[in-house]
Amino acid sequence: MDFKTFSKSIDLVKSWRASENKLPHEWPDPRDPVFQKYLEESGVVAQDLDKSLVALCAWREGRTELYPGMSAVLHVLVNRQKKFPPRQYLEDQQFLIGKEDNPWQDDYPEAEINFVRLLENLDTVLSDRTFDLTNGATNFGDTADEFPSPEYTKTASVGSLLFFKKEK
């Protein structure tokens, strides 16, 4: 994916929100038949929209990190997708993207090198064809945070982020 495709998808989301009186934490589902007209009018492909939202989530969660940190967050999304229903990242409490009180709900990335690299490698990471720096983590937090549950174990540290997974 390139930045132009990402931007086109995000512009579609913004247009949909304005037309449908949606809030900044609400996201369209490209599988919704009602949303199809927005896809057709904009020329955005549903898969590109989904990938753009995943990339936006990884950027917002790893925005203070370089590419390895954002990529690690992306791996958590992939690992969670294996365990939970599709698109749960938009509603999941782990990620700010679906929260009403998200402090970055109006922030979008520029075409800076770390985010462009994330977009360029997006398909490879999403298809689980890269080394997972998180070692299978399904959760993460800031190193300053104390992870709340003893049933989780630390799997990795990337940048200022700690990665965890629930032991069986």
- Count structural domains, the chain: 1
pLDDT at 148: 58
Residue 141 pLDDT level (bands cut at 50, 70, 90) = confident
pLDDT at 91: 55
Residues 122 and 54 sit within 8 Å (Cβ to Cβ): yes
139 pLDDT exceeds 90?
A: no
70 assigned to some structural domain: yes
95 assigned to some structural domain: yes
63 assigned to some structural domain: yes
Backbone angles phi, psi at 93, to 5 degrees: -70, -15
- Provide the mean pLDDT of the chain: 88
Helical packing angle, 67-83 and 113-126, nearest 10°? 30
14 assigned to some structural domain: yes
40 assigned to some structural domain: yes
167 assigned to some structural domain: no
Q: What is the pLDDT of residues 46-78, one digit of tens each?
A: 999 999 999 998 999 898 899 999 999 999 989
89 pLDDT exceeds 60?
A: no
Range of the domain at 74: 3-135
